[in-house]
Amino acid sequence: MVDDSFIPTAIGWILAIAVIILVIVTVARAIRIIPQATAGVVERLGRYHKTLTPGLNILVPFIDRLRPLIDMREQVVSFPPQPVITEDNLVVSIDTVVYFQVTDARAATYEIANYLGAVEQLTTTTLRNVVGGLNLEEALTSRDEINGQLRVVLDEATGKWGIRVGRVELKAIDPPVSIQDSMEKQMRAERDRRAAILTAEGSKQSQILEAEGQRQAAILKAEGDKQAAVLRAQGEAEAIQNVFSAIHIGQPDDKLLAYQYLQMLPKISESPSSKLWIIPSELTDALKSFGTAFSPKPGGTPPTPPTLPGA
């Protein structure tokens, strides 16, 4: 038999536990911790109320509702290749990368249903408009201009969505296969042409340098021969001047000159090519003086003649 006093006690415990659970749930729904670099949009009774910032935030339980958090960091989205027709009717495949950042969580939540898909579609449309006004060569060489135009158009269009587009980059521009083969052949021919020009230029410079070197060598050789001839002539002139001065200082007589002539005769005969001797008239006069000098005087002893070299 159940005690009548136990029933009120059990009911009290159940009510207490229910109250505790309700308090816990209420506190859990009232306290919201927002991580850094994110933002949360709060709706009160279905209408926008405020945007929660990172940190501890208090909500009114069962009245306020927190929508999914929005990432406020800069995001990088790579879109799949898009076929684009250029001005010269060639279909090219272009890969794009967009760098954007959510700056207004409220606008990104209520102004656009899917801002990521909207950015992708807007990028594709703008890319076709920009590249459609360029031919293939301009599209391949004007990436910076295309990137700048895309960024300006996207940033202006996405501003009302609370999104700021920082950069737009074209990863790759792939022309058709047939055009790629033609471009490769053209590039190969251009490289061959440049190689031929560089080879010819190098050969030309080599010949110029070689001719310049030979000219400088000839000039230096001629200059050296000139200096040698000048020095040789100066030496001979100085030797002749010294001999002439020595002769005049010594005041030689006919006897000494005749003796010097006789000393030179053996040196003249040493040459194997000397078959004819030409004796100057001065030598004859000197020999007469030399013979007179060594002829015996009356009543005297004949002087001893000098020994000739080689005798």
Residues 168 and 83 in one domain: yes
Tell me the C-alpha to C-alpha distance, in Å, between residue 239 and each of 79, 232, 234, 261: 99, 10, 8, 19
Contact 200, 119 (CB under 8 A): no
Question: What does the angle CA 120 – CA 121 – CA 123 come to, to the nearest 5 degrees?
Answer: 65
Residues 84 and 144 in one domain: yes
Residues 50 and 105 in one domain: no
Token pair of 54 as six digits: 């990172």
Look-up of token digits 């190969």: 188
Residues 205 and 232 in one domain: yes
Rounded distance between C-alpha atoms, residue 17 and residue 194, angstroms? 90
- Residue 205: inside a domain: yes
- Residue 300: inside a domain: no
Query: What residues have CB less than 8 Å from 136, skipping those under 6 apart?
Result: 86, 88, 90, 92, 175, 179
Residues 102 and 66 in one domain: no
- Residue 93: inside a domain: yes
Token pair of 34 as six digits: 């927002």
- Residue 118: inside a domain: yes
Residues 170 and 82 in one domain: yes
Do the bridges between strand 31-34 and strand 38-44 make them parallel or antiparallel, or are there none, so unpaired?
A: unpaired
- 8-state DSSP, 134: S
Residues 106 and 60 in one domain: no
Residues 244 and 258 in one domain: no
Residues 28 and 84 in one domain: no
Consecutive 10-residue runs of the chain (311 residues): their mean pLDDT? 59 82 82 91 91 90 89 90 86 89 92 88 88 84 87 89 90 78 75 86 88 88 87 82 72 62 63 58 58 54 48 42
Residues 81 and 170 in one domain: yes
Rounded distance between C-alpha atoms, residue 172 and residue 288, angstroms? 115
For 36, left (φ over 0), alpha (ψ -120 to 50), or beta?
Answer: beta
pLDDT at 274: 56
| Number of domains into which the chain is organized | 4
pLDDT at 89: 85
pLDDT at 194: 87
- 8-state DSSP, 302: P
Q: Of the candidates 175, 208, 235, which is a domain's last residue?
A: 175
Residues 258 and 167 in one domain: no
Contact 94, 81 (CB under 8 A): yes
pLDDT at 107: 92
- Residue 311: inside a domain: no
pLDDT at 296: 54
- Backbone φ, ψ for residue 176 (5° rounding): -60, 160
pLDDT at 279: 58
- Residue 79: inside a domain: yes
Residues 120 and 158 in one domain: yes
- Residue 184: inside a domain: no
pLDDT at 270: 63
pLDDT at 103: 92
3-state secondary structure (DSSP) of residue 32: strand
Residue 64 belongs to domain spanning: 12-70
- Residue 218: inside a domain: yes
Model pTM score = 0.53
Contact 127, 94 (CB under 8 A): yes
β-partners of residue 40 are 52
